[in-house]
Structure 1
């Protein structure tokens, strides 16, 4: 197996590897897990695997979870279909920087995404290193956000356009959780910035330390949230992957954000994803 770094910030391509075999080979799976901790996002091209092999490989990182809105493949509930067709509604959920499913109390550890069909041009996915984004914040910003927490919501994103009864029922099923703005990786101990498109507001900003008078909290907190979210926009923290059928991406959701670029004309883009259960952020 050859490991080819893709940028100075994150990402590496694995060459000469069979990911389906890694689902049956503990030594190979362990090596890939170590590489994921180092590079945060891994890629491999020309992978022939069934949905069952896809799920088996993803389970080498942990147990799989389902998504309440995305359909699962037949016979493999741990594999969801993220399929876009010319008939798909013009939804804009993916083309925003985000950690997956921070609207869960325990967001995913990571995911394994496999391309079945993609546009001839366009439809790339981008990732950003949120450890680097935190490390390079000015010291006074690090001091300001130490101990701050943010509210994350499915209701305000995926469910916003749904009828109110469906929206409220889903909110009861997935109450908006609160997560630290700066989280600690449970394996490496490194700190990273945890914001993204599912975060709606800061929950504990309104204190004497940050607020001079009652209405002062709103513009101050909003400006800070906008600034923190914008850190994933910085090219020096990013990589961009061009898909081809049979290519696979594996990412650590605890320290990266990603963005699915929806720049392609009406056509087919079919991706299958296995999402690995995670722990409560701290």
Structure 2
């Protein structure tokens, strides 16, 4: 069993030691955590060390964790208050768990780069996804380090993003799942949210590119920040910039790819990552349960 020590900046306080193993999954993002039993409640030392590891690696993967739905809810709640998703189907006994994955008739539709619930005024701090059933081949998920994506933008582009505000909206992605009456009710409950194009991570201080092609619809103040000659300069230049920013998530250099097995748990930081659930397994079945931890207002 390997003892791991995280630095104070990663832990948020004094250095933390934990007796579980950490094996990096790529040079940029992700670590597999071993020698830990998640059927047991986390003690304070384990909690602190896992949170420090999450801040450093942004994605933590746990294998062979045969936990119940109630245990998954309790584990995720250790890291913060949990949301109840307004659209996805819920576990019948635990509304904090959404049920994800298609079946032999309906394919999954999470195959777009996104950060969970960025359309909320207070988007997610993190998500904890547990594999119940998956195909032997296919159905992998990709995660992307969006702090690295921002850091490696050309300096002129980073300067051009200063002060820009992006609009994130629930309806473009989820509206087709609703009746007109449901869309009207969801619009009243969840108006579009405005977040900085580049947010500052509240725990690490990292600058993070925070737009995604699933939920970011446009820039609220592009014309205030950039000189334009005509109306088409404003609209087309704004669209070109957004398309360029969306594409950053697709760079393999910022990514890690996870092959699922039953009882695998992935825990990731939605403030600094995006992810993409690959839809290459239909009509095979993939069944997942996700708990989502409420975060803070991006700044």
TM-score normalized with structure 1 length? 0.95
Q: Note the aligned Cα RMSD (angstroms).
A: 1.3
Name the structure 2 match of 1:246. 263
Name the structure 1 match of 2:98. 80
Name the structure 1 match of 2:13. none
- Asked if the contact 2:164–2:225 (Cα under 8 Å) also holds between the matched residues in 1, the reply is no
Secondary structure of 1:166 counterpart: helix
Matched, 1:25 2:43: yes
Query: CA separation in 1, counterparts of 2:225 and 2:270?
Result: 34
- Give the Å deviation of 1:218: 0.7
Query: CA separation in 1, counterparts of 2:177 and 2:133?
Result: 28
Match for residue 34 of structure 1 among 46, 52, 67: 52
Summarize deviations over 1:179-223 as a string: whole Å, max 9, x none: 110000011111100011200011100137331223310110000
- Give the Å deviation of 1:27: 1.5
Q: How has the CA–CA distance of structure 1 residues 208 and 105 changed in structure 2, closer, same or farther, with 3 Å as cutoff?
A: closer
Query: CA separation in 1, counterparts of 2:166 and 2:91?
Result: 33
Instruction: Flag structure 2 segments of 5+ consecutive residues without an equivalent.
Output: 1-19
Name the structure 1 match of 2:67. 49
- Give the Å deviation of 1:99: 0.5
Q: How does 1:76-115 map to 2 (within 5 A)?
A: 76-88=94-106, 90=107, 92=109, 94-115=110-131
- Give the Å deviation of 1:165: 2.9
Query: CA separation in 2, counterparts of 1:211 and 1:160?
Result: 35
- Give the Å deviation of 1:91: 5.7
Query: CA separation in 1, counterparts of 2:217 and 2:241?
Result: 12
Query: CA separation in 2, counterparts of 1:205 and 1:175?
Result: 20
- Asked if the contact 2:59–2:266 (Cα under 8 Å) also holds between the matched residues in 1, the reply is yes
Query: CA separation in 2, counterparts of 1:71 and 1:265?
Result: 20
Secondary structure of 1:72 counterpart: coil
Name the structure 2 match of 1:219. 236
- Give the Å deviation of 1:268: 1.4
Query: CA separation in 1, counterparts of 2:270 and 2:245?
Result: 17
Q: How does 1:185-204 map to 2 (within 5 A)?
A: 185-196=201-212, 197-204=214-221
Instruction: Flag structure 1 segments of 5+ consecutive residues without an equivalent.
Output: none
- Give the Å deviation of 1:234: 0.3
Summarize deviations over 1:218-237 as a string: whole Å, max 9, x none: 11000000000100000000
- Give the Å deviation of 1:142: 0.6
Query: CA separation in 2, counterparts of 1:249 and 1:60?
Result: 15
Matched, 1:63 2:100: no
Farther off after superposition, 212-221 or 179-188: 212-221
Secondary structure of 2:199 counterpart: strand
Farther off after superposition, 264-273 or 35-44: 264-273
Q: Which runs of 4+ in 1 moved over 4 A?
A: none
- Asked if the contact 1:155–1:168 (Cα under 8 Å) also holds between the matched residues in 2, the reply is no
Name the structure 2 match of 1:3. 22
Name the structure 1 match of 2:153. 137
Match for residue 159 of structure 1 among 160, 175, 178: 175
Farther off after superposition, 211-220 or 56-65: 211-220
Q: How has the CA–CA distance of structure 1 residues 84 and 208 changed in structure 2, closer, same or farther, with 3 Å as cutoff?
A: closer
Farther off after superposition, 216-225 or 152-161: 152-161
Query: CA separation in 1, counterparts of 2:99 and 2:111?
Result: 17
